[in-house]
Structure 1
Amino acid sequence: MRWYGLPTLGLGLAITIVAIMRFSLLEPDPPANPEDVCEIFREHPVWYDYASRSKERWGTPIATQLAFVYYESSFRSHARPPRTRLLGFIPWRRPTSAYGYAQALDPAWAEYLAANGDGLSVVRTNMKYALDFVGWYNHLTRRDVGIPLTSPEKLYLAYHEGRTGYQRQSYLAKPEVRSLATRVQNRAFRYDRQLQTCEEEFQCWRFYQFWPFCGDW
């Protein structure tokens, strides 16, 4: 009877490991200096690789991807909108299903999974897939709406309002959203200027690369 406890223990450990993978409980803390994209990548160098791959796949500049995440979640992996209050003090429902680094809504995330594959590790709390989601969404925005990937402000308006909402110009009645989109663009441009001074060092992180032969391999 004691022997049968071993497979049970092994099954329990396996379930625990899968749960950790599925819900990304071990994602890193937000960067200590989110105002400087060079410092962000120095603290989390693998994030540069994720952003670079997303750029190669979908076209959104690295700096724009990071600016989106800054304003969507402040680089917090499990970010959610705050709950509303019933009767002014009882915690109630959340206003949207936004979740993770990119604050992807349930329907948009389901569409992303359907288009790109659904695995145990493909979760909104993993920066790799959050940045890929941002790139994928902006790719569709450029394709369907015609917004260039060099316009972070308009891309963010479409990201926040949805492509249909953007085409209906729903943001015109939301000055706070327009102001936020302007801040996203300003940060994207600032991140891009910063990245120009340090990007080469992040292209040398892989063990088989060494200066001066560091390309975006």
Structure 2
Amino acid sequence: MKKLLPLLLLPLFLTGCFSTPAVTVNNICTLMDEEVSWYRSVKAVEKKYDVPVHVLLAVVYQESRFASDAKPPREKLFGIVPWFRPTTAYGFAQAVDGTWDWYKLKTGNHNADRDDFDDAVDFMGWYMNQSNKRSGVAKSDAYHQYLAYHEGHGGFNKKTYQKKPWLMKVARKVENNAKRYKRQLNQCASELNSNSIWSLF
């Protein structure tokens, strides 16, 4: 039995090791130039829900670092053995099962996948639009949009984030990234728009 124990535990250690490499983004223009279809997706969401591209991208970066199969890290059993994950969050948007199901029900996008960038950012745009309707958060307000995204509309309206200094710090980071992405995108918008058009032919 002692010899079998390492073999039984091996799948636990391997689970989660095989994932899309996270992307470090210093300049969002470079990434959008490389991933033209992603740029088309966020522009489509901006047009559909009136959520700015730089806000969408800043939240995607914070949630998944643009990794399609991102998941929360596993908790540790006895401090060493990887155990269950704390939530069902998955994909580019780190949407949990219940919220994703709500999105599919309300939008009719029943075949949506969380590891599909187009579906993930459409979900984000839809959710931020809901945050605007349900919680009065401006769509351009990356700081409060992220807090509503993390806490849910009920929690945000109750201001549960005020008891979480670490979360407000993360939201401020999202806000700063959104501002940086906005400046960068202003400099490369014409080139990206050109790439997006010509890639269709």
Instruction: Please indicate, yes or no, whether the TM-score normalized by the shorter chain is above 0.5.
Output: yes
Task: Point out the structure with max Rg over C-alpha.
Answer: 1
Q: Does 1:82 align with 2:82?
A: no
Residue 117 of structure 1: how far off its partner (Å): 2.5
Q: Does 1:189 align with 2:179?
A: yes
Residue 79 of structure 1: how far off its partner (Å): 0.3
In structure 2, the CA distance between the partners of 1:75 and 1:67, relative to structure 1 (3 Å rule), is same
Distance 1:208 1:86 in 2: 49
Aligned with 2:170 (options 180, 184, 191): 180
Structure 1: runs of 5+ lacking an equivalent: 1-26, 210-217
Mapping of 1:1-217 within 5 angstroms?
Answer: 30-31=22-23, 34-120=25-111, 122-205=112-195, 206-207=197-198
Tell me the TM-score normalized by structure 2.
Answer: 0.85
Secondary structure, counterpart of 1:40 in structure 2: helix
Distance 2:106 2:20 in 1: 27
Residue 42 of structure 1: how far off its partner (Å): 1.0
Distance 1:38 1:127 in 2: 17
Distance 1:111 1:96 in 2: 16
Larger helix fraction of residues: 2
Secondary structure, counterpart of 1:149 in structure 2: coil
In structure 2, the CA distance between the partners of 1:43 and 1:67, relative to structure 1 (3 Å rule), is same
Question: After superposition, what is the alpha-carbon deviation per residue over 1:3-45, rounded to whole angstroms, capped at 9, x for unaligned?
Answer: xxxxxxxxxxxxxxxxxxxxxxxx97554x5121100111111
Distance 1:35 1:55 in 2: 22
Q: How many pairs align?
A: 182
In structure 2, the CA distance between the partners of 1:91 and 1:126, relative to structure 1 (3 Å rule), is same
Secondary structure, counterpart of 1:83 in structure 2: coil
Residue 207 of structure 1: how far off its partner (Å): 3.3
Distance 1:77 1:208 in 2: 22
Distance 1:149 1:119 in 2: 25
Distance 1:104 1:95 in 2: 13
Structure 2: runs of 5+ lacking an equivalent: 1-18
Identity over aligned pairs, percent: 35
Distance 1:123 1:201 in 2: 29
In structure 2, the CA distance between the partners of 1:96 and 1:208, relative to structure 1 (3 Å rule), is closer
Distance 2:121 2:189 in 1: 18
Secondary structure, counterpart of 2:118 in structure 1: helix
Counterpart residue identity of residue 141, structure 1: S
Secondary structure, counterpart of 1:60 in structure 2: coil
Q: Contact 2:69 / 2:115 at 8 angstroms: preserved in 1?
A: yes
Distance 2:119 2:181 in 1: 21
| Runs of 4+ in structure 1 over 3 Å off | 27-31
Counterpart residue identity of residue 103, structure 2: Y
Question: After superposition, what is the alpha-carbon deviation per residue over 1:140-195, rounded to whole angstroms, capped at 9, x for unaligned?
Answer: 00011111112100000000111111111111111110000000001001100100
